[in-house]
Amino acid sequence: MKILLTQDIERVGRMGEVVEVAGGYARNYLIPRGMAVGVTRGRMKEIDEQRKVLEVKAARERERLMGLAEKVQGHKLEITTRCSATGKLFGSITNRQVAQAVLDATGEEIDRHKIHVDDRIRAVGTYHATVKLHPDVEVDLEFEVVGEGFVPEEPEPDESEIAAEQAAAAPEAPEAETAEGEAEAEGPPEAPESAGAGLEPDQV
């Protein structure tokens, strides 16, 4: 059965397209929900006019979603959840939590079903989620998972780093002080012998 789609439907088609689907699927699901209208010969002129209107609407919706994608990507997203002292999460991060983080950061609401989150997120850290807002608009979101009360341990410096820091902190002795120290070590200079040294008083 031929139908005119009034909205984007995954794996079926885009808004404004005329596609052919199973009759039962069209009559029992798509058409009753306003997602499509049946295409018949008697309604071809009406369908063609409606299709043009939907194409304009689809173009505007695409532009809106592209703007939303740019806005969302420009914000830092943060999800706070419970975790152990080592940073291991009690559970996993869901697309609902990511959608809420987007709403908190941007004020924009995104259908959580359009968000794909890796189900292997089990610890605090930085992760990514994929959001398919439109067949032509896909967003890669970066978000930080923060554990409640979790304080990351700072790595201990190795011995080479400690030695380098100590060497940099040790003050160097000025050259003047070094010269003075050498002079003291040698002792005071000897007085020169005078011409009358060793003579009796009446011989001078």
99-116 average pLDDT score: 91
pLDDT(14) > 80: yes
Long-range contacts of 94-100 (CB under 8 A, 24+ apart): 95/129, 98/129, 98/141, 98/143
Calpha distance 183→177 (Å, rounded): 10
In order of their start, the domains of the chain are 2-64 (3.40.5.10), 77-147 (3.10.430.100)
Which has more pLDDT, 183 or 2?
2
The answer to whether residue 100 scores a pLDDT higher than 90 is yes
Confidence at residue 99, expressed as pLDDT on a 0 to 100 scale: 93
Say if residue 147 is exposed, middle or buried (CB neighbours under 10 Å; 0-12, 13-18, 19+): buried
Under 8 Å between Cβ of 26 and 38: yes
pLDDT band at 156 (very low <50, low <70, confident <90, very high): low
Segment 164-189, tens digit of pLDDT: 666 666 655 555 454 455 545 555 55
Parallel, antiparallel, or unpaired for β 36-38 and 2-5? Answer: antiparallel
The 10s digit of each residue's pLDDT in 111-133 is 999 999 977 888 899 999 999 98
The model carries a pTM of: 0.58
What pLDDT sits at residue 48? 86
pLDDT confidence bin for 150, thresholds 50/70/90: low
Q: pLDDT tens for residues 26-56? A: 999 999 999 999 988 777 888 888 888 988 9
